[in-house]
Amino acid sequence: MYSRRQVTHGIVSGSVLGAASLAGVGGAFSSQGSPIVAAAASLRFALREAADVFARETGSSVRLSFASSGNLARQIRQGAPFELFLSADEDYVAALQKDGHTLDGGALYALGRLVVFAPNDARFKIDADLSGLGKALQRGDIHRFAIANPEHAPYGRAARDVLNHAGLWDGIKSKLVLGENVSQAAQFAVSGSCEGALIAQSLALSEGLSGRGNFKLVPDQWHQPLRQRMVMLPGAGEVARTFYQYLQGSGAGEIFSRHGFARPKEG
């Protein structure tokens, strides 16, 4: 079981990890009495902006806890005091609903996009079909390549799908460095510890990566759709419910679009 103190400590720790190369702690973390929102790591920048706008418009704040969707779902099952869950994979929401851990089936809020990213001094040509990566593998120029852990990170599963589709999985799997979530995979790439990565477009567009590398969108037909769904959890209070409604509005939709997410169609 989780205490509120334990989860709050996790929020601070996750924020500091992100601050190392990607982000600082935004205003959405300021009030210790505010509801805790569990969010997929791909949302680190988009949701922070949305939460800050929400706070300015309503005077209410939320706290954001970022991790892989699978790990957050596990924490919810173990009793973590989250009031709202934004997953990068709607299957986690469906499983939680089936077992009685949500108030309803939630709502789609975004469609994720996957990109191949490499630092400015990349050893391979960055292209959408990963042919440059394949040639670099054949030359022996790729020693470490980052993706999120496919076992619990939706963007990691999408990356595995893409590498399989491109025929590169067998040649690259021994060189993979698995991030705990897609944000950590992005850190591995931008730090220079890996030659490249498959990461969320929302992170590739962020200030922390902008100008420090290049990226190309990979065909979304190459992986299972990243249908990102949010849901209110039992015990959700008024602020969490209001934030949930705000995230379904046009203002939040524009923020998500600007950060590289596609707008979803329910169904």
Q: Average pLDDT of 71-75?
A: 97
Residue 105 shares a structural domain with residue 131: no
Mean pLDDT for the chain overall? 88
User: Residue 192's pLDDT is what?
Assistant: 86
263 falls within a domain: no
Tell me what percent of the residues of the chain surpass a pLDDT of 70. 87
The answer to whether 84 touches 234, Cβ cutoff 8 Å, is: no
Q: Which residues contact 29 (CB under 8 A, 6 or more apart)?
A: 11, 12, 15, 63, 64
- CATH number for the domain that contains residue 105: 3.40.190.10
Sheet holding 145-148, edge to edge: 176-179, 145-148, 196-200, 114-119, 213-217
User: Residue 16's pLDDT is what?
Assistant: 25
Q: Which residues contact 254 (CB under 8 A, 6 or more apart)?
A: none
**Confidence bin at 2 (pLDDT 50/70/90):** very low
Residue 248 shares a structural domain with residue 160: no
Q: Which domain holds residue 9?
A: 4-111+226-258
Residue 22 has pLDDT above 80, yes or no: no
The answer to whether 37 touches 63, Cβ cutoff 8 Å, is: yes
SS3 of 18, please? Answer: helix
Residue 70 shares a structural domain with residue 137: no
127 falls within a domain: yes
Residue 30 has pLDDT above 70, yes or no: no
Residue 256 has pLDDT above 70, yes or no: yes
Residue 6 has pLDDT above 70, yes or no: no
pLDDT tens column, 130-166: 999 999 999 999 999 999 999 999 999 999 999 999 9
User: Residue 3's pLDDT is what?
Assistant: 42
265 falls within a domain: no
Q: Which residues contact 233 (CB under 8 A, 6 or more apart)?
A: 76, 82, 83, 84, 85, 101, 102, 103
**Confidence bin at 123 (pLDDT 50/70/90):** confident
Q: Average pLDDT of 226-240?
A: 97
Residue 202 has pLDDT above 60, yes or no: yes
User: Residue 122's pLDDT is what?
Assistant: 87
Residue 103 shares a structural domain with residue 204: no
24 falls within a domain: yes
Residue 106 shares a structural domain with residue 8: yes
Please give the residue that has the higher pLDDT: either 146 or 266. 146
Residue 143 shares a structural domain with residue 185: yes
Residue 177 shares a structural domain with residue 243: no
Residue 193 shares a structural domain with residue 128: yes
Residue 70 shares a structural domain with residue 200: no
Task: Report d(CA 88, CA 71) in Å as an integer.
Answer: 12
The answer to whether 35 touches 240, Cβ cutoff 8 Å, is: yes
183 falls within a domain: yes
The answer to whether 46 touches 52, Cβ cutoff 8 Å, is: no
Residue 122 shares a structural domain with residue 200: yes
264 falls within a domain: no
User: Residue 266's pLDDT is what?
Assistant: 57
The answer to whether 108 touches 247, Cβ cutoff 8 Å, is: no
User: Residue 74's pLDDT is what?
Assistant: 97
34 falls within a domain: yes
Q: Chain centroid to CA 32: how far?
A: 23
Residue 104 shares a structural domain with residue 231: yes
Look at 71-80, 208-217, 240-249 and tell me which has the smallest mean pLDDT: 208-217
- As for how many domains the chain has, the answer is 2
Residue 210 shares a structural domain with residue 120: yes
Please give the residue that has the higher pLDDT: either 7 or 177. 177
User: Residue 9's pLDDT is what?
Assistant: 33
Task: Report d(CA 93, CA 106) in Å as an integer.
Answer: 8
pTM over the 0.75 mark: yes
User: Residue 214's pLDDT is what?
Assistant: 93
266 falls within a domain: no
